[in-house]
Structure 1
């Protein structure tokens, strides 16, 4: 029996790789998981009541695109957060952003571009679904370094014109996973101008947008509206997993041009799974409330400050501008991860598992990713132990 060759060169997903690296070794202390970005802050207080009041909805097929109440809540939030007014036909509810980031590429990337194989751009390191979307389409994934030299954001404009002319989609994550870099308004403006010049779409993965240090990150829709960009040029993806500490709800949305959303909805109608109505009800309440978001952000600020105190003297340490990961420099990320596990029981992720090797270079190889999702006391214990183990005690 044959299998598709297009996935044959993919490395194993990051977390199975991590299990293979660590699980044959006993932990060297009390186990603490700091490898996966699963928020542990309290859920919004209204979740249980809204869910209980909506249980009868499990007896009905849910609305494919999102209920009117949910779409109104989402467009209302976009208006309050970014100052952009959207009609409901420019939004669709998602089972988390991963579904949307994959399926929107299937719906919107053509089979060829200028008579050649299409290209899909992504930062390197990156969220792994970007590459899977490109390969599923038969497109060429182009991994663009997002390193300290480029402020941990991809410099797409530096690519050859011949490559840019084949691009159909450029993925961007801001705040960036894993580095925490934020794309400025100027960066987004330049990217949209590049997309207009070379006729491609920008897929802005903004699921960490509400976890920030100093100021709310600008959004791609906001800059597109401000500059008068073609609405079909930009599609943004948001989630309640990080914003509202609801990773198990699997709820988010995509917003963009009306025609593009129509195509994404059409694909969903044939091959997707809409959110159950009780989940849509909880999602509606969550997008309509900011108090729980502000409270959660305040907790992250405490952990950011803790990280700055502990790692300020580490050469190459950079304070994350947003998101909830530390991107810590080490000589060898895999060796550091294994050592930390065997000596302390703390579980982190090698940076190379989030990157691809291009021309012999893996930009994540000299880093580890550490998730600041646990409660403060556990985070303090984990970061202090990590510092002492990997960088030496004061």
Structure 2
């Protein structure tokens, strides 16, 4: 077996299962989970109709680069969403089976273990982070290096303190904007810094933007492709953007997304995926076209999140260190400011006393530069309906007040 498999840590939800082992939740309360970031809103009927109408596609082998109609639909959506010229659907866009598998497989295609003479290649990751980044690095023969979230930058990763010797070994940088779990959105200045570093050290940027359509203000989050165009990087050198229909359109089970950007990388990634077996079902492609071509269901979906966050956040702000994020569907809350309790202890007690599941922030991060930036924080995924999220918030507030009174 590949010895790098031994470097992989248990997924956060496996750690959560072990954390809760032997705990019996209070039977007076129904179970509510804010732990898993799985969309719970209804799948739009137009997507289901398109899928059913194209079931004959199951009789055909799909091509790895997808049908032209899907690539054109994605190109049109990108142009409208980010106010940029349409990307070349033939050379700059590639459908993928959800952004998760593409985030992983991109590292396998990009990393060259023989390229560095000063040690293993580096894959730069935000911290806290989506654990696929770390696993992709290890299994590509690289080492992950973590840029800790900076509370002063609304928990965006701070790349300014990374040593020159590390940048010299960097071959791939993952960045998530809007961020998981913090909801932070990178600014144009942030992107400018990353592009300049990419130019200087010749690494690829993988911009994970799967939460881009869930936001709370009037202005949609800036995307990496739009930032590149604004800075005159019209061919998107060393930039690959990844997005998905899972959160935008409430279809995580469809496993449908895309990568877009640098045509040279797309060409090589297509070659890799031809062997990797990354072709999307023709039926799923048809349903994906319907999804990318319709914006009304996205507006309605976003309104549900705005309603939830506007009601839940004030309740939790009374007892926890939490603020409305820039975007995404998570609340990233501090629990130790007044409570003197760890994130894992908080999660255990909340589950035991009120049957609410949240994810300890330390499970989403690694100790780096002397700290685990997720420690003493919790992630709450507000994916259920408004009433259930409000019930969870009220139970969390009651549990937190219970802890305060016990001190």
> Which TM class, normalised by the smaller chain length?
over 0.9
Provide the alpha-carbon RMSD of the alignment: 1.6
Residue 168 of structure 1, CA deviation: 0.8
Partner of 2:237, secondary structure, is: helix
Bigger Cα displacement from structure 2, 20-29 vs 81-90 = 20-29
CA distance 1:106–1:9, change in 2 (3 Å): closer
Higher mean C-alpha displacement, 224-233 vs 134-143: 224-233
CA separation in 1, counterparts of 2:307 and 2:197?
38
Correspondence for 1:39: 39
CA positional deviation for 1:307: 2.5
Equivalent in 232, 248, 255 of residue 228 of structure 1: 232
Identify the range of structure 1 (306-315 vs 19-28) with the bigger mean alpha-carbon deviation: 306-315
SS at match of 2:45: coil
Task: String of CA shifts for 1:2-45, please: whole Å, max 9, x gaps.
Answer: x4432324321111111121143222121111101111112112
Match of 2:142 among 134, 139, 145: 139
Question: Does the Cα contact within 8 Å between 1:113 and 1:167 map onto a contact in 2?
Answer: no
- TM-superposed deviation, 1:313: 3.4
Taking the aligned partners of 1:315 and 1:39, their CA distance within structure 2 comes to: 24
Query: In structure 2, do the counterparts of structure 1 residues 185 and 314 end up closer, same or farther at CA, with 3 Å as the change threshold?
Result: farther
Shift in CA distance, 314/192, structure 1 to aligned 2, threshold 3 Å? farther
Measured at CA, do residues 113 and 152 of structure 1 come closer, stay the same or move farther in structure 2, by a change above 3 Å? Answer: farther
Give the drift of 1:344: 1.0
Query: Partners of 1:131 and 1:258 in 2: how far apart?
Result: 25
Q: Distance in 1 between matches of 2:158 and 2:308?
A: 30
Contact 1:113–1:168 under 8 Å retained in 2: no
Match of 1:219 in 2: 223
* Counterpart position of 1:104: 106
Could you say which residue in structure 2 is the equivalent of 1:26? 24
Instruction: Map residues 45-60 of structure 1 onto 2, 5 A cutoff.
Output: 45-60=45-60
Preserved CA contact (<8 Å) 1:146 1:155: yes
Question: Map of 1:61-76 to 2, 5 A cutoff?
Answer: 61-76=61-76
State the TM-score, normalizing by the size of structure 1.
Answer: 0.96
Matches within 5 A, 1:1-394: 3-28=1-26, 29-84=29-84, 85-88=86-89, 89-116=91-118, 117-214=120-217, 215-229=219-233, 231-314=236-319, 316-331=321-336, 332-392=342-402
Whether the 8 Å CA contact 1:180–1:325 is kept in 2: the answer is: yes
Structure 1 distance, partners of 2:113, 2:370, is: 29
Deviation of 1:263 (Å): 0.8
State how far apart, in whole Å, the 2-side matches of 1:151 and 1:9 are. 31
Q: TM-score scaled by structure 2? A: 0.93
Following the alignment from structure 2 to structure 1, what is the Cα–Cα distance between the partners of residues 318 and 393?
Answer: 14
Give the deviation of 1:208 after TM superposition. 0.1
Report the Cα distance in structure 2 between the residues aligned to 1:357 and 1:241, rounded to whole angstroms: 30
Secondary structure of the structure 1 residue equivalent to 2:299: helix
CA distance in 1, matches of 2:265, 2:187: 25
Structure 1 residues 47 and 315, CA gap change in structure 2 (3 angstroms): closer
Whole-Å Cα distance in 2 between the matches of residues 377 and 58 of structure 1?
39
Between 1:184-193 and 1:279-288, the stretch displaced more is 184-193
Gaps of 5+ in 1: none
Indicate the larger mover: 333-342 or 315-324.
315-324
Structure 1: distance between partners of 2:14 and 2:313? 31
The alpha-carbon distance between structure 1 residues 183 and 367, as it changes in their structure 2 partners (threshold 3 A), is same
